[in-house]
Structure formats: C-alpha cells, structure tokens
Amino acid sequence: MIIPLENPVLVHEDFGKQKKTEELQLDNIIPTSKTSSDDDVFLAPEVNAFGRQFRDYADANNERQKSVEEFYKTQHTNQSLDFVKKMRHEYGKLDKMVMNIWECCELLNEVVDESDPDLDEPQIQHLLQSAEAIRKDYPDEDWLHLTALIHDLGKVLTLPQFGGLPQWAVVGDTFPVGCAFDESNIHHKYFMENPDFNNPNYNTKTGIYSEGCGLENVFMSWGHDDYMYLVAKENGSTLPSAGLFIIRYHSFYPLHKAGGYTHLLNEGDKDNLKWLHVFNKYDLYSKSKVQVDVEKVKPYYMSLIKKVRNFTFISFEDE
C-alpha cells in the first residue's frame, strides 16, 4: 500500500505550534469538547450494540465472547518478534495496486472484525460513526475527523486482494514484542504458548529496549494499526504527529486503557497519548447498530480527502 503525496497540502509543522493557513490544523492545546450548531454533543452510551458493557471479555458462555477468546489465543501464540519483523519487511514494500481513500473505505463493507466483542457491523460504519461523533464535538479539528476516517483502513489486509492475512494478524489489541508481555493484555495466559515467552532476551520488562526509549523504537504486534502507520509515514503524509500516533496505537489498549508499558514512553509519546485518549472515547463508544447515512456525509469527507488529493492506496495483488 502506498500514499504518494506529490502535492501534499495537509500541513503541520510540529505538535506544539499552530500555523494560520487553510490547511488542516492541530492546536497546541487539546480543546475541550465543542457544541456543534445543532447542540448535538456526543454522549458515550452505557452499553454496546449487544446490550452489554463495552470490551467485556468475561462472559465465557456467550458465543461471540467464545470466538473472541479463541481469536486472542491464536493471536497471542503467533505474534512473536520474528513474525512482526517478517510482516514489516514484506508489507513495508508498499508496491502494488492503486486505489483512493474512499474506494478503500468502501472495501471495508466486506470486513467484520472477529476480535471485537462490541460490534459485528461492516467496518465502514465504524469509521463513519467515530468520525461523525468526533465532528460533532470537535468541529474545528478536521485533521482528527480525517484520522478517524482512515484509522482502520489497514483492515483490508484480511481481503484476498490485499494478501488475505488471517484476522489474528490484522485486528485485535496490539502490544509490544521483544519484551515481557505485560499482564494488562487481554487473555494474558495465552502468551505462554508464544515462542518469545521463555526467551531470556525478550521476557524481561524492557527486553531489547530501554526505559524511555520511545514507542517509535518499539516493535508492535503486527496488524492494521502498524500497517496503516507505515502507509502514512513512508509516503510522506503530513498528518500531525498526534494523528500518526493515533493510527499506530489506537488498538494499544494495554497502554491507553490499562496503563501498561508506560516505562517505554518518551516525552513526545506522553503528549500524543493525550490526543489518543480523546480519540479513544469516540473509537470505542460510538459503536452502534444505528448506521450513518453514507451518501449524506460523503461530500464532507470527500472535501477532506481533496486536501490530500493524492492520498492513494496500494494493495498486494500479484503484478
């Protein structure tokens, strides 16, 4: 997958400065929630689409929960450092078929996330639900609207034309590899079957890393987050650093939900984590059976896409 940006206009100089232009902006202070023109501010629901608490993994008698637990058993067993390095090398080439952002969004109609205990709707609805919820509360932060729209696009890796990777190699909570698997990870017991679990080079708190090394220097379990991050970063996306951080770590629940792995963060990570906490509220709690009218909101998101009009996606079909 490639995002060639021949004439990028999505500009941000750095996280702490604001430039007065017509381009997408990132304020130097995280704004409070703003009321939209219709006063329709996002309120997090108390229960998910199945009438249960969000991210509830405890009901072992529920069929959906059983499949989710089986998913994590497979993921935790197979996501080793060697596997991650192999996937990053293979998919980091970004050298196949071209498609644009909206075409990639529409492909997500064919994807249902098997790791998600909260929703079994097509993924395009999740993108639009989270983006629309953010837009209502933060109408001036259009960089964040765009980030919400594209944050899960890497899930197309499950489709045949993108390599047909198994879901355990695409979705689910992410975590660092190359160091001890923190107990904040969901279904931590299944890491015992991972080849890295008893490796003395990898099973200490810091492993191959050091305190405060920064997440940029950490290998994360392979999936749609890391893939989409590579797509944006390697092709010169000028999303602000907080946008790239959100894309790469939005599934890193052991960090931003449970507070694990904080010893690996540097100061830049801590700043960007504040934005991820803002985003996570909408990524998680906007999941609903009530669907967004795609054609109604499409013109707005197409206007954002035009600001990065050369944002195109590459799949992994045979040449």
Neighbours of 36 (CB within 10 A): 14
For the ranges 22-26, 73-77, 101-105, the maximum mean pLDDT occurs at 73-77
Least confident of 29-38, 61-70, 183-192, 295-304: 29-38
CB atoms within 10 A of CB 76: 25
Question: Which residue has tokens 């200490």?
Answer: 204
Among 13-22, 90-99, 199-208, the minimum mean pLDDT is found in: 13-22
Average pLDDT rounded to a whole number, residues 36-61: 45
- Which segments are annotated as binding site? 55, 113-115, 126, 151-152, 155, 172-173, 224, 250-251, 283
Residues at the binding site for substrate are 55, 113-115, 155, 172-173, 250-251
d(CA 179, CA 201): 8
Averaged pLDDT, 82-106: 87
pLDDT at 163: 86
Write phi, then psi, for 313 (nearest 5 degrees): -110, 145
Tokens representing residue 138 in the block: 């933060």
pLDDT average, residue stretch 199-225: 98
pLDDT at 20 > cutoff 60 = no
The length of the chain, given as a count of residues: 319
Fill in the DSSP letter of residue 239: -
Asked if pLDDT for residue 24 goes beyond 50, the answer is no
E strand spans, the chain? 98-100, 312-314
Known binding site for Fe cation: residues? 126, 151-152, 224, 250, 283
Of 318, 134, 148, the C-alpha closest to 228 is 148
Span 291-298, average pLDDT: 91
Please give the pLDDT value at position 162.
Answer: 84
15-19, 50-54, 187-191, 273-277: least confidently modelled range = 15-19
pLDDT at 177: 98
pLDDT band at 59 (very low <50, low <70, confident <90, very high): low
Helix (H) or strand (E) holding 95: none
Determine the average pLDDT of the residues in 303-307. 82
